[in-house]
Structure 1
């Protein structure tokens, strides 16, 4: 069957189906005549299992270990249940912390943030995990490559412009045309390479698994 039919029957987006293929969880056969992926009933059943485990928030790596037999289903579920219990405890601790701030009638303008940060640090030493403010979202991951690409492209354009400008203002001492072509083409090739790598990086960041809660 084709991917559109699999998407309908399993209720998983085509993007996620391809993502699971990239992660090695799914390996459909390819039609020798047209090169299209052909999904079997076994692939469909496997996707249903993956969907179930992902809806339980079990990590991709854990599912891979289960599928290959490196980890039993029971051990994975037990380990994941412990992880969920810890997350639940963290949420409860954060709820209590919020209630404490409410009870203390804390105002933003007069809040002694250092005092509460010290309390948080003490709680973290005892095992509570608060939100990691250093976590980066997709836009942040793409920002650095974008800046570097813009700088590199600008630098290459400056080189090309400088070469052409020098060629135009001094007709008597112009270098041979093959040399001019080489020093002009090389920066252009570099610009194309930079833009291609930037696009590839964007696709890598964008191509991750879609949110299971909203897409399933």
Structure 2
């Protein structure tokens, strides 16, 4: 039978039936089309549940009876005793009401202390009156779930900032304490915009949603933007220590201890904090979200590391890649390439870049249908401490490499390291092929003495000659 027939047979609502399924008290089968198929056994189970719930049995007791952990006769005896205690408590409350009525007191003249003292005396005899402890907005005393929900939200905001830097400016945040503080406060700025917006529209943030958490106002509705902003402002100061290093950890610790002791945190005194369930699968979702954030962060980092054009290059696109590699990998921006592939000096007049010819040798381009298939240069300037073309060869290689079909974001780091590690010095002959590129350096010199792996010094009294031809050629 379907759920409509079950509702009609039992006088229960669909919400009731779904609730008992969620609690694990009912497990209907599924038909081939995916719909629930209720049997006569399911109908009997729901009748038992309805009867026992109307006798005020708890869900835990019903579950224990279903599993055989609790015998029905024993459960009935326990419930009868509970109901009798409740009846005694109600009788005591009725008697106290009659006493107050007989005293003829009015609300304005009510001496509550006198009757509260009587309540204390009765409670000492075993009577239990209704407690006022429940007269408070609900809160969630699960500090680790709350901590990781907020940390996930913070990580998402930081990822948004990183995405803006990587996709908009092709850069990343710097290192060091000051950069760390700047990015932390910028991330809080993003959170101060997004969290109130999400709480006022959805009632939860991504981190809270993963853990089944929600924030509501005293009436059970969603917070307004200003209420959510005010809540976050108090949390930022009292819970996060205004983002001050180390003090933040102290405030986190104090907040977690307060939750463990059942206290209501200052920023939750005027709102309700609820949790849907404590299913372990929510931790799986959290770990999956963190893994996704890490993967996206790595992709953004690779996007910044890899030169911007990753398809067959025109001369202008080669120049763009060359200049990007120059900036990213620490080259001195004395000369850059223009859209025509020629050198333009960008440093102030009189500036000299150590380690690069001034001016660098002109690059020659081999083109096929407007696409760069080869880059080369020839120079007669011998490599020295103040004059070397090692960086020119390096950045030319890094500019052409991402255009090769064999190279992508997934293997850029290894491909770039593997290829550039094969480069020799400016006065060394070498030739190798990697990822569809053949890199060749041919050198002929005399009257020089090698110093280290990258420099030549002229030998006094000898005639100096030097010629270097470096080329990178894509496979045809």
- TM-score, with structure 1 as normaliser: 0.68
Alignment partner, residue 84 of structure 2: 85
Pairing of 1:69-148 with structure 2 (within 5 A): 69-136=68-135, 140-141=137-138
**Cα pair distance change 1:113/1:79, threshold 3 Å:** same
Which is richer in strand? Answer: 2
Residue 65 of structure 1: how far off its partner (Å):
1.6
How far, CA to CA, are the matches of 1:101 and 1:80 in structure 2? Answer: 32
Q: Does 1:15 align with 2:15?
A: yes
For CA contacts below 8 A with separation 6 or more, give which structure has more relative contact order.
1
- RMSD over aligned Cα, in angstroms? 3.9
Pairing of 1:1-216 with structure 2 (within 5 A): 1-31=1-31, 33-136=32-135, 140-141=137-138, 176=170, 191-194=205-208, 197=211, 198-199=213-214, 204=276
How far, CA to CA, are the matches of 1:57 and 1:15 in structure 2? Answer: 19
How far, CA to CA, are the matches of 2:139 and 2:119 in structure 1? Answer: 31
Which is richer in helix? Answer: 1
The C-alpha deviation readout for 1:125-183, integer Å capped at 9, x for no partner, is: 1011111111157xx226999xx9xxx7xx97xx88xx7xxx9xxxxxx964566xxx7
Residue 199 of structure 1: how far off its partner (Å):
4.9
The C-alpha deviation readout for 1:161-210, integer Å capped at 9, x for no partner, is: xx7xxx9xxxxxx964566xxx79996798433356545986838xxxxx
**Cα pair distance change 1:204/1:195, threshold 3 Å:** closer
**Cα pair distance change 1:202/1:40, threshold 3 Å:** farther
CA contact (8 A) 2:3 2:14 kept: yes
Alignment partner, residue 208 of structure 1: none
Residue 45 of structure 1: how far off its partner (Å):
0.8
**Cα pair distance change 1:36/1:58, threshold 3 Å:** same
The C-alpha deviation readout for 1:61-107, integer Å capped at 9, x for no partner, is: 11112222222211111111111111111111111101111111222
CA contact (8 A) 2:140 2:275 kept: no
Q: Is the deviation greater in 68-77 or in 91-100?
A: 68-77
- TM-score, with structure 2 as normaliser: 0.33
How far, CA to CA, are the matches of 1:195 and 1:99 in structure 2? Answer: 49
How far, CA to CA, are the matches of 1:53 and 1:106 in structure 2? Answer: 42
CA contact (8 A) 2:92 2:127 kept: yes
